[in-house]
Chains A and B, each alone.
Chain A
Amino acid sequence: MKYKSQKVAYWFFAACMLLFSLQIVYGFIMAFAHMGFDGLHQIIPFNVARATHTNLLVMWMLLGFMGAAYFIIPEEADREIYWPRLAYVQLIAFVLVGVTAVIGFHFGWWEGRKFLEIPRPLDYLVVIDVLLFIANIGMTIWKGRRMTTTSMVLFFGLLMAALLYLPGMIDTNNQTTDSYLRWWVVHLWVEGVWELIMGGILAFLLVKLTGVDREIVEKWLYVIVGLTFLSGILGTGHHYYYIGTPRYWLIIGGVFSAMEPLAFLAMAIYGITMWRKAGRHHPNQIALLWTVGTCVMSFVGAGFLGFAHTLPQVNLYTHGTLVTAMHGHLAFWGAYAMLILAIISYSLPLMTGRKRYKGPTASLAFWASNIGMLAMTVAFGIAGVAQVTLERRMGLDFLDVQKEIQVHFLGLVIAASLFTVGAGAFIYDFIRYGMPNAEPTGSPLEDGDGDQDESSDAELAPEVAE
């Protein structure tokens, strides 16, 4: 950590850990309800649990991105955050709005639009808050000493994420229009601008952790985000097959969304190549593991499993079944959750001056959560395929089919328990790292940048390979 103000990232990440743990609790509530144990139905009916689970997810992703930006941008721009106090205010405001929203869900204060359940007045607060954040990092870049591709990609990703939130707030009484615009937020986020954010954070991590030349990393960054938008924008059409929109979306959505996995494949190849090219052995191997892990798992969850149901012929039967839940979990986990855990793993030792990345809990966190999540994906997948076959293809009644597949939710709960062990280990480590240092830990703990002299690394990394 070079700059004092970077440590605000710590508090963003701490909020992430809190919301992440709550999210898991609500996941279990739903998994049990699917198994027939809906004892909480009177207090927390399924729709409340679901809105809470997914909104907490989205909130901690956004907090993670903001934290990452506050950590990365000063370093890239070579200066302190422009308004360091504003960063704290903006964090507290965001958490307050988020907590209010989640509590409100329990009292029926919400909008019934999947993923965008946050009620309208709070929507405005979210937008204002995020715009303040954008202004803050924007000023930091503007007044900074350098303007790197990494920081620009990250900045524009965040800016467009904020702007795309707006169409989701347009009121309409036509369900088709409503759904059309909802996807501008949901799809164009996760399969568009969030990938830009991901690309930016990944480029930063790869430059830092592998020491590969910045020019090479950033060149491929352009290729990846180019592929993302080329396929992802028109790929929105894969949500416009069956909602009352014209038939041509079956072709356009089918063709372009089928190309979306290319961006994720490129990301996986890029991560692995940079890793193998690594000119030196960075001491924080666990951060590198999460970084390469996110490249690979995003391909599996988003690219491969997304492709599995994106063609209209397939989607006609899988649309709105547990197959979607299978893909949603691994995609969010692989692409965005792991990415945030990667930047946390990388930045915590630098912010706190402690090096817990050597310990066994760090490895446990990685392997248990990933194996657990893969097993959850399998459980959702089997339940989903059985549902599609029995209900959608053979025409059995919905509830009869649900009884047939109940047992797979036992599988889900077991897998989710393993996942929770991993997540718990990560959070335990996070807490054990302790508070961030008051002062910047300066160059001895700072690791080299591809375009800088790397002698400073030697102190932290006796095992430097070069």
Chain B
Amino acid sequence: MLSKSAAKAFFLIGTGISFLAFVGLTYDTFRQIPARTHADQITPEVARGKEIWDHKNCMGCHTIFGEGAYYAPELTKVMERRGEVFVRGMLRDPAAMYPGQRQMVQYDFTDAEIDDLVAFLTWIGHVDTNGFPADPPLRQHLAPAASADGRPLVFQQTCIACHSVGGAGGNVGPALDGVGTRRDADYLTRWLHDPSAVKPEARMPQLGLSDAQVTELVTYLGTLRTEH
């Protein structure tokens, strides 16, 4: 049978080899990290954004790279998923973006801090994570989503979180089917710049859209007409 000294040798040699291999791999990983993470794009804004991220312990509710808590959405690809307009809205006033939902902390960030966090999340989104988070493999088995033809990106990212078109999307705001029949371009333009200027008690937050985005959106909304 195995003797105690043989067992001890197994322990010491096994540990030694594993340790050396781990040190070697760590060395190589650190060599590769700058390229894989685009470390050259870690601007002062990104670094400040990470500081805020750490300082507020966003990881205590969210995950990033799949690490953190399981109370709030995974944020690695949030810029791609929701777009800058929505994320900024979220950081300005989370309760306005998700009224009546599970609560995020109301941080009252300054615009500069929001810039930093957005820069950080944008940088995170470009890190090569070996395919995480994966595209949902079963999505194709669900009812086909309404055709997204001709939708501006900002609509697909931001507006769809609260509004539905053709039955797909959020239900915080009214469905936008037929909005092109209900509202004219002038109304829509004013509405998108600042809903509360059109309707003081409007429940849609001001999203800080650029003029170009508003023009693009109004053109698109104009195509959403009810069939007679």
Contacts and interface: CB of A to CB of B under 8 A. Distances in A.
Interface of A: 30, 33-34, 36, 38, 41, 45-48, 50-51, 108, 110-114, 117, 149, 173-177, 179-180, 182, 215, 218-220, 222-223, 225-227, 229-230, 233-234, 236-237, 240-250, 252, 316-317, 319-322, 324-325, 387, 389, 391-395, 397-399, 402
B28 interface: yes
B37 A174 contact: yes
A112 B59 CA distance: 6
B66 A242 contact: yes
Nearest to B137: A393
A226 B14 contact: yes
Given A114-B69, A325-B70, A316 B10 contact: no
B212 interface: no
Interface string B75-87: 0000000000000
Nearest to A316: B134
Interface in B33-83: 33, 36-37, 39, 42, 46-47, 50-51, 53-61, 63-74
A233 B18 contact: yes
Contacts of A108: 55-57
Given A47-B59, A51-B60, A112-B58, 8 more contacts: A173-B50, A175-B64, A179-B65, A236-B22, A242-B131, A245-B33, A249-B29, A392-B133
Contact of B70 (A51, A222, A322, A392): A322
Contacts of A325: 70
Contacts of B29: 180, 240, 245-246, 249
B28 A246 contact: yes
Interface of B: 2-4, 7-8, 10-11, 14-15, 17-19, 21-22, 25-26, 28-30, 32-33, 36-37, 39, 42, 46-47, 50-51, 53-61, 63-74, 98, 101-103, 105, 124, 127-139, 141-142, 170
Nearest to B12: A226
B138 A111 contact: no
A203 B127 CA distance: 45
A327 to B, nearest CB: 12
Contact of B139 (A41, A222, A395, A398): A395
A84 to B, nearest CB: 32
A252 B25 contact: yes
A243 B136 contact: no
A230 B66 contact: no
B184 to A, nearest CB: 32
Given A393-B136, A393-B138, A320 B63 contact: yes
A222 B8 contact: yes
A222 B7 contact: yes
B36 A246 contact: yes
Contact of B102 (A179, A252, A402): A402
Contacts of A45: 60-61, 103, 105
5 contacts: A117-B57, A175-B64, A222-B4, A236-B22, A391-B136
A223 to B, nearest CB: 5
Contacts of B142: 394-395
Contact of B36 (A47, A176, A179): A176
A110 B57 contact: yes
B69 A179 contact: no
A243 B7 contact: no
Nearest to A237: B25
Nearest to A250: B130
A30 B69 CA distance: 11
Given A112-B58, A316-B134, A226 B36 contact: no
A322 B135 CA distance: 19
B7 A219 contact: yes
A36 B67 CA distance: 23
Contacts of B138: 389, 393-395
A387 B139 CA distance: 14
A112 B54 contact: yes
A324 B63 CA distance: 12
Contact of A219 (B4, B26, B71, B133): B4
A245 B136 CA distance: 22
B33 A50 contact: no
